[in-house]
Amino acid sequence: MDGTSKLLVASNRGPLTLSRGEDGREVVSRGGGGLVQGMSSAMASVDGVWVCSALNDYERLVSRRAPGGRLPRADADDGDLDVRMLPIDATTFARAYNGIANSTLWFVNHLLYDIPTKPVFDFGWRRQWRSYEDYNDAFAVALDEEAAEGATVVVQDYHLVLAPRLLRERRPDLRIGHFMHTPWAPPENYSMLPDDVARDVLAGILGADHAGFLCDRWAEAFLECCVTLLGATVDGRTVTYRGRCTEVGVHRLGTDGPALHERAHRGDVETQMGHLRELAGDRRIIARVDRTELSKNIVRGLMAYREVLRTYPEWHDRVMHVAYAYPSRHDLPEYREYTASVQRLAREIDDEFAEGDWKPVHLTVTDDFAGSLAAFRLAEVLVVNPIRDGMNLVAKEGPVLSEPGCALVLSREAGAADELGPDALVVNPYDVTQTATAIHAALSMPAGERAARSQRLARAATALPPAMWFEEQLTALRRP
């Protein structure tokens, strides 16, 4: 039976996170991460349904009880958006999200495997894969229920690569888009996946009419995989597979300048700026803000800062590295270990260089959004050095908010390097010495040049705000 919605979005994490506070009352917060941030802003004034998964026991309980799985409207900012949360059972969810999405597809596309020992695709992994299929199927069923005849459905990211095809089989009438927020691996890395799975993933996305990526490089890698592993025909950016055509498009996601400004000038951010100013004194701030995420390369970033202090002693007592690494995916042991190694290295740097009231590193590993915005506002240097990153919005937010104007040290492996490269100090993320040299150059840059570059970076960063990014995709999807 057809539903009533003309526009639907599907993603693992929804716009709201629900939990039960210590006093037993419900706590509602915004979902975190790049996807939710971009999508929430894009959907703010849109009439549609956002289908997402329940992510914890409390959300499962609430969504099971809610009529039609619909959450009550959170606040007036959300326009006419309805949220339908799927109470996928805890085991299926954990195997799909932790086992396949975050430990397999994320690792393959970000080239994170330590290959002498990983990955291992065995019996246990196959069980996870079946859960991933079930999880994707649950989305296809819900989208089928919600979508009106001929509706537009935009499916998001690596959690839901099978959903476009599963939905297409149920509903040939729909216009379906898929958008990847991560990089895509070249065929020689992507083909580490079991052959049948590698093909199912590609064929899953090709169930869509339009497949979107954040930059040319990821789109090209996807096309190469379609040819090499699936035997599909590619003509320009049109893929033909089993008689169906999918258009591949590149849609760069930027930041919403005015909204970011407004949020970064609220009282909680001013308070955090006061704390940071007290800690830093008149020392210059080198900032970084990331999820504590393996691909963000925080450890090599700290190594580069240590090398700056070892090689250029003139910066002693004149700089402070403010690093916000907010917690992420702590169900995975690799992430817990990574957080510990970030903390260990920050302590080692302090042990080696701290003197008097100078603490060279100020590391925060708790979720402190206001603190991160305060760090952006005060930063003279911003370090963004991922091993590989779909886009990286931090590289865009920093220059928009920095008051002194910030020099951006940016990995060439971030999608954002395409747009920001000309005004950034671009580095190879594995080359610690080059990164250290770039941080030194950033600190040494004349203030006028730094401010001029920062302004140009901010202009490039805000050129395609989320609402335009989303509109572009819808336009591409509506093209016959």
Q: Taking the complex as a whole, how short is the minimal distance between the CB of residue 270 and ligand G6P, in angstroms?
A: 27
How far apart, in whole angstroms, are the C-alpha atoms of residue 178 and residue 163? 9
Q: 90-126 burial, b if ≥16 CB within 10 A, otherwise e?
A: eebbebbbbbbbbbbbbbbbbbbeeeeeebeeeeebe
Query: What is the rounded end-to-end Cα distance, in angstroms, of the chain?
Result: 25
Phi, psi (rounded to 5 degrees) for 174: -80, 150
Distance of CA 476 to the CA centre of its chain: 23
Residue in 92, 128, 328, 437 binding ligand G6P, rule: CB under 6 A: 328
Candidates 31-39, 353-361, 417-425, 430-438; binding stretch for ligand G6P (CB under 6 A): 31-39
Should residue 389 be labelled a site residue for ligand G6P when binding is judged by CB under 6 A? no
| 128 vs 132: CA distance, rounded Å | 6
DSSP secondary structure code for residue 422 in this structure: G
Contacts of ligand G6P in 352-371 (CB under 6 A): none
Question: How far apart are CB 293 and ligand G6P at their closest, in Å?
Answer: 7
C-alpha span between 351 and 264 (Å, rounded): 33
> Quick one: which segment of 29-37, 146-154, 206-214, 464-472 binds ligand G6P (CB under 6 A)?
29-37
Residue 302 binds ligand G6P (CB under 6 A): no
Phi, psi of 429 (to 5 degrees): -65, -15
Assess 306 for contact with ligand G6P (CB under 6 A): no
Nearest alpha carbon to residue 218 among 293, 297, 109, 101: 109
Which one among 217, 329, 377, 388 touches ligand G6P, defined by CB under 6 A? 329
User: Which of 40, 152 has the CB closer to ligand G6P?
Assistant: 40
Q: Give the residue among 37, 40, 54 at the shortest CA–CA distance from 9.
A: 40
Here's the x/- map for ligand G6P, 173-202, by CB under 6 A: it reads as --------xx--------------------
Kindly state the DSSP code that residue 193 receives in the 8-state scheme: S
Q: What is the number of the residue whose Cβ is closest to ligand G6P?
A: 33
Q: Does residue 13 bind ligand G6P (CB under 6 A)? A: yes
Which range, of 27-35, 334-342, 366-374, 472-480, touches ligand G6P by CB under 6 A?
A: 27-35
For ligand G6P, the closer CB: 251 or 450: 251
* Total Cβ atoms within 10 A of residue 6: 15
**Of residues 118-157, which lie at the interface with ligand G6P (CB under 6 A)?**
157
Q: Which of 9, 18, 36, 443 binds ligand G6P (CB under 6 A)?
A: 36
Interface contacts to ligand G6P, rule CB under 6 A? 13, 32-36, 157, 181-182, 328-329, 390
